Amino acid sequence: MINNNTSNYDILISDFDEHYFKVDFPGQFDKKMLDAVRAVPGRIWNSELKIWMLPLEFVENGKSSTTALLENLYATGLYNFSKDESGNTKKVLPHVPYQKSISKMKDMLQVRHYSKRTIECYLRWVKEFLEKYGRNGTDGLGQKQINEFLTTLAVKYKVSPSTQNQALAGLLFYFRFVKGKNPIELESVIRAKKKPRIPVVFSRAEVRRVIEYMPVEKRLCAEMIYGTGMRLNELIELRILDVDFDRSEIIIRHGKGDKDRRVMLPQSLIPKIKSQIENVKKLHEKDLADGWGAVPLPGALAGKYPGAEKDLKWQWLFPQKNRWKNPNTGEEGRWHMDGTLLQRAVKSAVLKAGINKNSSCHTFRHSFATHLLENGYDIRTVQELLGHNDVKTTQIYTHVLNRGPSGVISPLDNM
What are the catalytic residues? 231, 256, 362, 365, 388, 397
* Kind plus residue range of the DSSP H or E element containing 60: strand 59-60
CA atoms within 13 A on the CB side of 382: 23
> Which is it for strands 324-325 and 261-264: parallel, antiparallel or unpaired?
unpaired
Yes or no: say if 382 and 397 are a contact pair by the CB < 8 Å rule: yes
For the chain, give the number of residues.
415
Burial string for 293-327 (b: 16+ CB within 10 Å, else e) reads: bbbebeeeebeeeeeebebeebbbbbbeeebbbeb
The helix/strand/coil state of 250 is: strand
Q: What are phi and psi of 178, to 5 degrees?
A: -90, -50
- What are the angstrom distances between the C-alpha of 254 and each of 95, 229, 383? 35, 15, 17
DSSP 267-290: GGGHHHHHHHHHHHHHHHHHHHHT
How deeply is 234 buried, as exposed, middle or buried, from its count of CB atoms within 10 A (0-12, 13-18, 19+)? buried
Strand ranges, E, within 249-384: 249-252, 261-264, 324-325, 332-333
Q: What are phi and psi of 27, to 5 degrees?
A: -115, -140
The radius of gyration computed from the CA coordinates of the chain, to the nearest angstrom, equals 24
